[in-house]
Amino acid sequence: MPTRVLLADDHALIRQGLKALLEKQGIQVVTEASDGQEAVRLAEKAQPEIAILDITMPLLNGVDAARELMKSAPKTKVILLTQHDEDQYVTEALRAGVKGYVLKSQAADDLIHAIREVCKGSVYLSPSISRAVVDAYLSKTYVSPDPLSTRERQVLQLVGEGKSTKDIAMQLGISVKTAESHRARLMRKLDIHETASLVRYAIRRGLIQA
């Protein structure tokens, strides 16, 4: 039986290229998503063995999508595919329970190798970042955990994408009052009091692209 995979990336051309690469190796792409929320929904429905997620996706970033996905599809193992090799992204991904972290610059053979290793129960990191992560852990210099809850990060990402409070409420299926409460609470936690600074923080944390 071929390994069943979900692909999530907001760029259709990247998904097409990855799908062709995987299927050439006998790996079955059972479903595709263009944002983090869609990836969570489709994973719950398809229950693939592996979910390959881009870190920077609309509506819900890859790390938080991984957290949600592993609740609704606990047997699915997540591999993040990203251009970010900074320690903070890698350590945050590992804290979230991600089993693979592959750089897009090394995506071809590296991704195939990651899928095979993760299917065997291993954790796989692209070779060029493995040493950096080990060094960061040993020296205790890795970035502290994000103080925000998953819901607050979702709200922050949507604020960074330019969504209004009403839009955020509709997107998350919550009331406008609740959305306002989440926004106020995350601003207090971060001690940030204007939208422009919130956007800069979201960029630094990799929730949105500059």
What is the pTM for the complete model shown?
A: 0.81
Give CA–CA dist 192/196, Å, rounded.
9
Render pLDDT for 145-188 as a digit per residue (tens, 0 to 9): 678 888 898 899 999 999 999 999 998 999 999 999 999 999 99
Confidence of residue 23 (pLDDT cuts 50, 70, 90): very high
Render pLDDT for 110-140 as a digit per residue (tens, 0 to 9): 999 999 999 999 999 988 776 666 666 556 5
Question: What average pLDDT does this structure show over 42-58?
Answer: 95
Question: What average pLDDT does this structure show over 43-47?
Answer: 97
Best CA proximity match to 79, nearest among 158, 156, 9, 151: 9
Which one is the CATH code of 150-204: 3.90.580.10, 1.10.12.10, 1.10.10.10, 1.10.1050.10?
Answer: 1.10.10.10
Instruction: Give the pLDDT score at 113.
Output: 94
Instruction: Give the pLDDT score at 131.
Output: 66
Q: 4-139, what's its fold?
A: Rossmann fold (3.40.50)
Give CA–CA dist 100/16, Å, rounded.
21
Residues of the chain above pLDDT 90, percent: 64
SS (H, E, C) 104-171: HHHHHHHHHHHHHHHHCCCCEECHHHHHHHHHHHHHCCCCCCCCCCHHHHHHHHHHHCCCCHHHHHHH
Fold matches, 4-139 and 150-204: no
Give CA–CA dist 185/182, Å, rounded.
5
Q: Examine the pLDDT at 96 and tell me if it is beyond 80.
A: yes
Which CA distances in Å does 155 have to 97, 106, 186, 192? 22, 32, 9, 14
Looking at every residue in the chain, the average pLDDT score rounds to 89
In the chain, what are the domain boundaries?
Answer: 4-139, 150-204
Q: What is the dihedral of CA 2, 48, 91, 155, to 10 degrees?
A: 150
Q: Examine the pLDDT at 107 and tell me if it is beyond 90.
A: no
Give CA–CA dist 11/3, Å, rounded.
23
Question: What average pLDDT does this structure show over 8-34?
Answer: 95
Strand order in the sheet with 124-125: 28-33, 4-8, 50-54, 77-82, 100-103, 124-125
Give CA–CA dist 152/144, Å, rounded.
17
What residues are paired with 28 via a beta bridge?
A: 4
Q: Examine the pLDDT at 142 and tell me if it is beyond 60.
A: no
Instruction: Give the pLDDT score at 128.
Output: 79
Question: What average pLDDT does this structure show over 29-44?
Answer: 96
Q: What is the dihedral of CA 182, 186, 188, 190, to 10 degrees?
A: 180
Q: Examine the pLDDT at 33 and tell me if it is beyond 70.
A: yes
What value, to the nearest 5°, has the Cα angle with vertex 13 and ends 164 and 94?
A: 65
φ, ψ for residue 38, nearest 5 deg: -65, -35
Sign of the dihedral through C-alpha 186, 101, 112, 12: positive
